[in-house]
């Protein structure tokens, strides 16, 4: 439970700017096992101004549940007003971003910069909680840098003013996405709160990573971002592992069908832009499916639905020419946040 919300799984999807929008989330949910998902972070002011791109970021559907919208902003009134607007539209949860390390967000006083002002950050959370009846959660890091590990203090204060849950990424803002996740830091945040769930996040790429994250930190749940890009079946595997102690890998046809489902969902949301936006996924699908290099190159340049269908037909015919692989190196982290926020 997060506040009054019943969440079907303790393993959920963490947002990756530009990658985990509605099409990917819906495709994942059709595989099973996924709990709470969170949208890409959305600028509260842009959302209130009816910015078209922000509207696209919060796009959802009945299949895309449970979902929270992640807001960022430095002005408590703007963020609270945006949260109230989302509740009026029927959204069932709001997540406040205090973890984004990007300079563009931090320079506006948002994201991880809020962690430098515990009093102001707590006032922001309190105002949003008081403005809505839906659960309000917070995503943050361990602190600004190694000398200011403020997450335990903030988590305790946020709980006191009504936050329903805390998601903690196990790095500081100074680390960005480099260096090792500190599970000790996540555990310290877990120990700081009285009763609300703390959700661990960072460097979870396998079933074993997720299980050990919970064991070593005591966190109630795990949010998986890049790991779900590497292995979209990770949520189903975790569900099966908890139910039976074992899990199976998807077969080639199921993996190809996931690619098709993802593409079709992108067409449904983005229309003619879908082919261009899908290109950035080509490398990941190429690795996962063992797609021959010439077909992967064509997928990177796909121009139309008919061309996509031709490429998929050839992938089915030529599957096995290259060994499928799940890359073990760090995924390239999106440069986000998106330019158009």
Which amino acids are annotated as binding site for FMN, given as ranges? 70, 139, 169, 225-226
The CA-to-CA distance between both ends of the chain, in Å, stands at: 31
Supply the DSSP string of 126-160, one letter for each residue. Answer: HHHHHH-SS-EEEEEES-SSTT---HHHHHHHHHH
Q: How many angstroms separate the CA atoms of 154 and 217, rounded?
A: 18
Using CA atoms, how far residue 326 sits from 34, 38, 73, in Å, is: 20, 24, 36
Backbone angles phi, psi at 72, to 5 degrees: -135, 155
Classify residue 332 as exposed, middle or buried by CB count within 10 Å of its CB (0-12, 13-18, 19+).
Answer: exposed
Is the CB of residue 204 less than 8 Å from the CB of residue 210?
yes
Q: Kindly provide the residue ranges of all beta strands, DSSP E only, lying in the chain, ordered along the sequence.
A: 11-13, 37-38, 42-43, 67-72, 94-98, 136-141, 165-169, 198-201, 221-224
**Catalytic site residue 100?**
yes
Supply the DSSP string of 236-257, one letter for each residue. Answer: HHHHHHHHHS---PPPHHHHHH
Q: How many angstroms separate the CA atoms of 113 and 198, rounded?
A: 21
Catalytic site residue from 4, 100, 116, 219: 100
Those residues with Cβ within 8 angstroms of residue 341's Cβ, 6 or more apart along the chain or in another chain: 41, 42, 43, 46, 53, 54, 104
88 torsion bin: left (phi>0), alpha (psi -120 to 50), beta (else):
alpha
Q: How many angstroms separate the CA atoms of 200 and 223, rounded?
A: 6
3 state DSSP class of 27: helix
Catalytic residues: 100
């Amino acid at each position: 439970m997060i506040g009054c919300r019943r969440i079907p799984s303790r393993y959920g999807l963490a947002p990756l700017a530009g990658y985990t929008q509605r099409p990917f989330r819906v495709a994942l949910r059709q595989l099973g096992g996924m709990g709470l998902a969170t949208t890409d972070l959305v600028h509260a002011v842009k959302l209130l101004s009816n910015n078209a791109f922000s509207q696209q970021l919060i796009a959802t559907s009945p299949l895309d549940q449970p979902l929270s919208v992640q807001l960022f902003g430095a002005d408590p009134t703007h963020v609270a007003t945006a949260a109230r607007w989302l509740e009026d539209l029927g959204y069932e949860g709001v997540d406040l971003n205090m973890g984004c390390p990007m300079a563009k967000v931090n320079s506006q006083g948002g994201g991880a910069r809020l962690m430098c002002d515990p009093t102001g950050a707590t006032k922001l959370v309190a105002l949003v909680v008081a403005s809505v009846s839906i659960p309000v959660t917070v995503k943050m890091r361990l602190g600004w840098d190694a000398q200011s590990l403020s997450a335990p203090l903030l988590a305790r204060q946020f709980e006191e003013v009504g936050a329903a849950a805390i998601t903690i990424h196990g790095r500081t803002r100074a680390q960005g996405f480099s260096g090792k996740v500190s599970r000790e830091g996540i555990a310290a945040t877990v120990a700081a709160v009285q009763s609300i769930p703390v959700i661990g996040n960072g460097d979870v790429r396998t079933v074993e990573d997720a299980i050990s994250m919970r064991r070593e930190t005591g966190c109630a749940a795990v949010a998986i971002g890049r790991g779900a890009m590497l292995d979209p079946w990770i949520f189903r595997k975790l569900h099966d592992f908890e139910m039976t102690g074992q899990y199976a890998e998807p077969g080639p046809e199921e993996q190809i069908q996931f690619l098709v489902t993802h593409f079709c969902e992108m067409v449904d949301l983005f229309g003619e832009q879908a082919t261009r936006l899908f290109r950035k996924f080509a490398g990941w699908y190429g690795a996962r499916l063992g797609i021959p290099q010439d077909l992967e190159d064509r997928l990177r340049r796909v121009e139309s639905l008919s061309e996509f269908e031709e490429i998929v037909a050839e992938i089915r015919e030529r599957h096995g020419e290259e060994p499928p692989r799940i890359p073990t190196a760090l995924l390239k982290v999106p440069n986000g946040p998106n330019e158009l926020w």
